[in-house]
């Protein structure tokens, strides 16, 4: 999961929907936990991405090592 820091306006909805992976900094902007999203949280992650009012979140597929 990645956040577009230019688009993000710090509403914090993503952290409410996915607190296991997203925390907010002192100004309300998301800090995404490092590493892959656990499978049991994937539905919540997709909901957080879809619910972002400014479309600042995206899910990225893990790249295979060459």
User: pLDDT tens-digit profile of 16-32?
Assistant: 999 999 999 999 999 99
Helix (H/G/I), strand (E/B), else coil: 44: helix
pTM of the model: 0.81
Query: Where in the sequence is the domain holding 33, given as residue range(s)?
Result: 2-58
Domain of 23, CATH number, reads 3.30.70.20
Residue 65 domain-assigned (yes or no): no
Residue 51 domain-assigned (yes or no): yes
Binned at pLDDT 50, 70 and 90, residue 64 comes out as low
For residue 48, the surrounding DSSP H or E stretch is helix 42-51
Q: How many domains does the chain have?
A: 1
Residue 63 domain-assigned (yes or no): no
> What whole-number distance in Å separates Cα of residue 30 and Cα of residue 45?
13
């Amino acid at each position: 999961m990645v956040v577009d820091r230019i688009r993000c306006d710090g509403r914090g909805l993503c952290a409410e929907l996915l607190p296991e992976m997203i925390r907010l900094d002192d100004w309300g902007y998301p800090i995404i936990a490092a590493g892959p999203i656990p499978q049991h949280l994937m539905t919540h992650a997709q909901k957080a991405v879809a619910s972002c009012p400014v479309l600042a979140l995206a899910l990225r597929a893990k790249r295979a090592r060459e």
